[in-house]
Structure 1
Amino acid sequence: MGDAVDVIRVAWAQRRPDLDTEPIAVVGRIMRAARYLEAAADERLAAVGITRTEFDVLSQLRRSPVPLRPGDLTAGVVGSPAATTKRLHKLVGVGLVTRSTDPEDARAARVGLTPAGEALVDAVLPEQLAAEAELLSIFTPEQRGALADLLRTALAAWES
């Protein structure tokens, strides 16, 4: 049984048989899978008025025992400092995040969760995890472990 990536590779093989399209077999599938996973998460999270990237920020704040600097948030999620700033403005505006002056550096800010933000993460995270587990149920536990190991190897190399 083939997929869209197989169709792409066959088309390239017909038009440019001189090219090795093996990278498309992996990269193309990772990118397509990521789009499906993000779309599914965004659809679920829209019910509570946030996106997956905003939920990632809220989750990072929930995992932290102390308020974080915006730069710490940017380092922990995919995105630019400008994107983090935009997300924080929205999350502050809807009452999920607070922004205060950093006690160690008055020029800097710290952000933390409001009680509403903490309650939102605590309510949504179990649902999110269950939905992701359902999406991954197409794999055996061994396949999930192998996939996680392969992706860890890639990310450890790329993120270093």
Structure 2
Amino acid sequence: MVDRIRDDWARRRPDLDTAPVAVVGRILRAARVLQEAADAQLAGAGLTRAEFDVLSQLRRHGAPLRPGDLTAGVVGSPAATTKRLHKLGAAGLVRRGADPDDARAARVSLTAAGERLVDDLLPRQLAADAELLEVFTPDQREQLAALLRSALLAWE
């Protein structure tokens, strides 16, 4: 698909260097494929990958977090985080409590049900992610991870 896009532009606008599309286009397409695969894997639990990422972040941290801290650790806006927290709260997976350091703020924590759900889903999600990455050799996975890490450190 990306090659076809570049070919189409080469015919229409041969003056343009479409080399960035070879990388950026493929990263965006790969992200979409990975997102759809994760969402399909988690659909049985009634979660999206983004919601699972919020739950996972709370589980990894092991202590209540401010909503802003959750936003910083996942993909999305503060509004998206708020929407996810409302859905997860209504499902009984997270709860909001007062922030002991700031009466105007809240902290979010996992409920026991949320913790059990993450512990149940995480091994399956990791296995599904690993299966998707089997198209690469172990060395290629390490190289790709290093390249993406370098890019993200520069961009973020």
Answering whether residue 98 of structure 2 is matched by residue 101 of structure 1, we say: yes
Say which structure, 1 or 2, has more relative contact order (CA 8 Å, 6+ apart). Answer: 2
Larger helix fraction of residues: 2
Q: Percent identity?
A: 73
Answering whether residue 3 of structure 2 is matched by residue 17 of structure 1, we say: no
User: What is the TM-score normalised by the length of structure 2?
Assistant: 0.98
Q: Runs of 5+ in structure 2 lacking a partner?
A: none
- After superposition, what is the alpha-carbon deviation per residue over 1:52-79, rounded to whole angstroms, capped at 9, x for unaligned? 0000000000011210000100111111
Counterparts of 1:61 and 1:43 in 2: how far apart (Å)?
22
Counterparts of 1:135 and 1:80 in 2: how far apart (Å)?
27
- After superposition, what is the alpha-carbon deviation per residue over 1:53-108, rounded to whole angstroms, capped at 9, x for unaligned? 00000000001121000010011111111111110001000000010011121111
Name the structure 2 match of 1:147: 144
Counterparts of 1:55 and 1:41 in 2: how far apart (Å)?
10
Choose the corresponding residue for 1:54, options 38, 41, 51.
51
Choose the corresponding residue for 2:78, options 72, 77, 81.
81
Answering whether residue 65 of structure 2 is matched by residue 72 of structure 1, we say: no
Q: 4+ runs of 1 displaced by more than 4 Å?
A: none
Query: Per-residue deviation at 1:11?
Result: 1.0
For residue 137 of structure 1, give the secondary structure of its aligned residue in structure 2. helix
Equivalent position amino acid for 1:40 in 2: A
- After superposition, what is the alpha-carbon deviation per residue over 1:4-63, rounded to whole angstroms, capped at 9, x for unaligned? 101111111111111100000000000000000000000111100010000000000001
Choose the corresponding residue for 2:40, options 40, 43, 59.
43
Q: How many residues align?
A: 156
Q: Runs of 5+ in structure 1 lacking a partner?
A: none
Answering whether residue 130 of structure 2 is matched by residue 133 of structure 1, we say: yes
Equivalent position amino acid for 1:146 in 2: Q
